[in-house]
Structure 1
């Protein structure tokens, strides 16, 4: 797929993986719309990176997703790429009796529901383009769970399964829409892990991840599994308990 002269939507585009991809795609001559919940952050990112377009919205809220889809349809009808990058990751103990039910499932709302809702809401618009693409960002932890992050791995496994189902359905009806799953390993430069890096897991730089991801998009890859994620994929098949227990020790 040609990655220039396109209009691209990036969720979670004000920081981390989303922002890095947004900037690379912007530098390739695209119109890039980054979605975030905080208007002040959107304004700051748009000011710092001339050319980025900020759109306020919350992918974990269905009504907000509907409003964003309507705005994009009315003002940016030419959108041809959706890059689903919004995500949160938290470490917590399931036996913590101070943890309420809503907080326990916050990652499901953002990571899984957000990916599904944004994809579903923008599918009609993408289907009208001559060629379009949906990118989902899962994780190497979709193959092997991290016991320190009990819900995150579950959401990324859900993103993985949803992406496969989406690709197969679209292959039957809308052959103009490519579907790629990006499966990052740990990227320590992001703000995803507020409790710090797990030194037992190798990290990949953002620049390297973006390089792999862009190459995959250009080649219409089904999935991109770079770095340590390859080992996690292998481990998930043959010795998942061993690696999960090792990660539980930090």
Structure 2
């Protein structure tokens, strides 16, 4: 797929991977709207990048997305690319009796349900285009669970499965003009998704390198981009899943719960 002259919506576009992709695609001559929850962050991004469009909505609250259906025809009438990058990652002590279900499932609501909601809402618009693309961002932790982040891993595994199912349904319906790509990043400490100093951690990938790999894969219509150490995590899941998860858990649980559970 060509990466110029497109009309693109990016969720989670005020920071991290979403913002990095937004600014790079804007420079390539695309029209880009970034969607985010907080108006102050959207305003700050627009000050830095005046050519970016912004839209306030919370993918974790599907009803807030409905105004897009009337906003898009006036601003991006030929929307042909959606990148689902909105996400959160929270550690949870599953043994904590005070842990609420709302807190526990927030990652699922935003990461998985938000992705599903955006794809479902905008798929008719994408199907009407000569060529279109959906990019859903999962994680290397969709392959191997992170013990401190049980619902983050569950949400990204769900994104992985949903993306594959969406791709196959479009193929079965002979709607191959809509390319469906799963971006599987490793740890990218620059995004600040996880707390703490993780720059020296295993598999940490520079954000600029991730963007470069992603844009290359998009141009090639790849179904899946296992970026950096995500390739290793996928291989470990295939050949030694139990041992790998125990190894990851041993270090990560001590990092996030140093006083125990």
TM-score (norm 2): 0.93
Match of 2:177 in 1: 176
Instruction: Tell me, yes or no, if the aligned pair for 1:73 and 1:125 is still in contact at 8 Å.
Output: no
Match of 1:238 in 2: 239
Other structure's SS at 2:190 match: coil
Show the 5 A alignment for 1:205-224: 205-224=206-225
Instruction: Tell me, yes or no, if the aligned pair for 1:5 and 1:30 is still in contact at 8 Å.
Output: yes
RMSD of aligned alpha carbons = 1.3
Q: Which moved more, 1:63-72 or 1:110-119?
A: 63-72
Moved over 4 A (4+): none
Match of 2:29 in 1: 29
Residue 195 of structure 1, CA deviation:
4.0
Other structure's SS at 1:203 match: coil
Show the 5 A alignment for 1:96-111: 96-111=96-111
Show the 5 A alignment for 1:31-70: 31-70=31-70
Summarize deviations over 1:159-181 as a string: whole Å, max 9, x none: 00000000011112222100000
Match of 1:161 in 2: 161
Match of 2:93 in 1: 93
Instruction: Tell me, yes or no, if the aligned pair for 1:132 and 1:177 is still in contact at 8 Å.
Output: yes
Distance of 1:199 and 1:106 partners within structure 2: 28
Distance of 2:20 and 2:182 partners within structure 1: 17
Summarize deviations over 1:199-250 as a string: whole Å, max 9, x none: 5522000000000100000000000012110110011111112222222222
Instruction: Tell me, yes or no, if the aligned pair for 1:200 and 1:247 is still in contact at 8 Å.
Output: no
Other structure's SS at 2:155 match: helix
Q: 1:75 aligned to 2:75? A: yes
Q: What is the number of equivalent residue pairs in this alignment?
A: 250
Other structure's SS at 2:80 match: strand
Runs of 5+ in structure 2 lacking a partner? 253-261
Other structure's SS at 1:151 match: helix
Other structure's SS at 2:179 match: strand
Other structure's SS at 1:245 match: helix
Other structure's SS at 2:81 match: strand
Other structure's SS at 1:221 match: coil
TM-score (norm 1): 0.97
